[in-house]
Amino acid sequence: MRYLVLVINGPNLNLLGERAPELYGRATLRQIEAALRVRARQRETALVCMQSNHEGAIIDFLHAWRRRAQGLVINPGAFAHYSYAIREAIAAVRLPAVEVHLTDLAARPEPWRRVSVIRDVCVATVMGRGPRGYLDALDLLLDRLGAQPWYHPHLAISVGLARPRPAARGGVAAAGPHEPRQPAPSRRRRPW
């Protein structure tokens, strides 16, 4: 593997899939991490994933991996709104970081949720894309690092977090500019 990327999830993200599924979706953190690992392998990247409900554990993790990793994808959860300690840790380790949130913070009704104190130490922010946002964040980071593109026209590999799209002619779902054409969604119910 050419790259090593850290994936950090903050408080309450261990409850994904059961906590407010109407807001955060039904995908579990384990499913999101599995999809990230598939994408990472496609791009010659290894991932080290962690989740913690404790600010100090996240900071210790960043410090421990700072010399081995090339980048960071972080969903700080509620720590995004007030943790200057995590903000300073990201700045101190000097890894390119992409902040990801399942919901669009700017559209949330609570004013305190619209603030992210870590945004200005990150190279990009992805929000409001649901579980798919993690893949987008990883791709943004790896593009910045110069990794191989994940999509090769001769390979049609699905990572399992794409939202179903309406079928086009011939029973093939429409694909976005960076996604392979995939068969029409199955009738099997998925958690996301």
Catalytic residue list: 24, 101
Give me the numbers of helices (H) and strands (E) for the chain, helices first please: 5, 7
Cβ neighbours around 18 below 10 Å, total: 10
102, 74 contact by CB (below 8 A): no
> What one-character DSSP code corresponds to residue 158?
-
Report which of 139, 134, 159, 120 is spatially closest to residue 13, judged by C-alpha positions.
Answer: 134
Judge contact between 97 and 121, C-beta under 8 A: yes
Angle 181-189-47 from CA coordinates, rounded to 5°: 65
Give buried/exposed letters for 64-82 (b at 16+ CB in 10 A, else e).
ebeeebbbbbbbbbebbbe
Per the CB < 8 A criterion, the answer to whether 8 and 33 are in contact is: no
